[in-house]
Structure 1
Amino acid sequence: MIHVERGGSGPLLVLLHGLGATAEVWRGVTPHWPGSWLAVDLPGHGRSTPLERYSFGSFAAAVAAVVPPGPVAVLGHSLGGAVALALASGWFAVEVAAVAGVGVKLRWSADELARARAVAGRPAKVFPTPDEAAGWAARLAGVPLAHGVAETPGGWRAALDPAAFGVGAPDVAGLLAASRAPVLLATGETDPLCPPGDLLAATPGGMVLAGVGHNAHVEQPESIRPVLERLVTEWDASRHPVGC
Structure 2
Amino acid sequence: MAGPDPEELRRVVEAFPAPPDGDQFETADELLDGAYSRMAESWYPALRELEAAYADGDVLREELLAHVEAVPSFRLSDGAAPLRERRRALVEADETLDGVAAVAEWYDELRALLEDEPTDLTRLERLLHGFGYALAHVLFLGTSSPAQVVRRLRVAYRSVGVRIDGTDAAGGTERTTFTCPYRNVAASQCGKRWVCHEKLDRVDDGYVTYLAERGIDYQRPRACPNAEQCYSTVARDGGDRWWPKTPPGDVSEP
TM bucket (normalised to shorter chain) is under 0.3
TM-score (norm 1): 0.23
Higher RCO, 1 vs 2 (CA within 8 Å, ≥6 residues apart): 2
More strand by share: 1
TM-score (norm 2): 0.22
More helix by share: 2
